[in-house]
């Protein structure tokens, strides 16, 4: 079974940090990780964490692909394309940022 989950939020909201935390928690299931960042720590394009989880029954694998939307304006064209290809969306909000 394949699941594609998109982490969506403003620039610097904490999307990459969420994926890094999940990578830590599910470290034994990490199949692939793509992440590139600028010297300032901003994500280039988007990042992806792919988990391959063996179910208890043992006969089905759960493949979970987690993506982030590009936070930087210059990659905004990718956002619409990403939304058309997911099973679920996690909204990431920085609760400490004032409006």
Ligand X SMILES: Nc1nc2c(ncn2[C@@H]2O[C@H](COP(=O)(O)OP(=O)(O)OP(=O)(O)O)[C@@H](O)[C@H]2O)c(=O)[nH]1
Q: How many CB atoms lie within 10 A of CB 29?
A: 16
How many Cβ atoms are within 10 Å of 82's Cβ, its own excluded?
17
Minimum CB distance to ligand X smaller for 4 or for 79 = 79
The contact mask relative to Mg ion for 32-71 (x = CB under 5 A, - = no) is: -----------x----------------------------
Q: Which partner from the list Mg ion, ligand X, none does 53 bind, CB cut-off 5 to 8 Å by kind?
A: none
Q: List, as own/partner pairs, every contact residues 46-50 make where C-beta atoms lie below 8 angstroms and the sequence separation is at least 24, other chains included.
A: 46/70, 46/75, 46/78, 46/82, 47/15, 47/16, 47/19, 49/19, 49/22, 49/23
Give residues in contact with ligand X (CB under 6 A).
Answer: 9, 11-17, 41-43, 68, 71
By CB under 5 A, the count of residues binding Mg ion is 3
Residue 8 or 15 with smaller CB distance to Mg ion:
15
Contact residues for Mg ion, defined by CB under 5 A: 15-16, 43
């Amino acid at each position: 079974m394949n699941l594609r989950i998109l982490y969506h939020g403003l620039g610097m909201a904490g999307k990459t940090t969420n994926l890094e935390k999940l990578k830590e928690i599910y470290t034994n299931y990490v199949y692939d990780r793509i992440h590139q960042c600028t010297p300032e720590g901003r994500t280039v394009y988007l990042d992806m964490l792919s988990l391959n989880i063996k179910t208890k029954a043992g006969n089905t694998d759960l493949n979970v692909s987690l993506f982030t939307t590009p936070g930087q304006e210059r990659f905004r064209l990718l956002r619409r394309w990403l939304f058309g290809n997911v099973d679920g969306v996690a909204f990431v909000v920085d609760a400490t940022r004032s409006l």
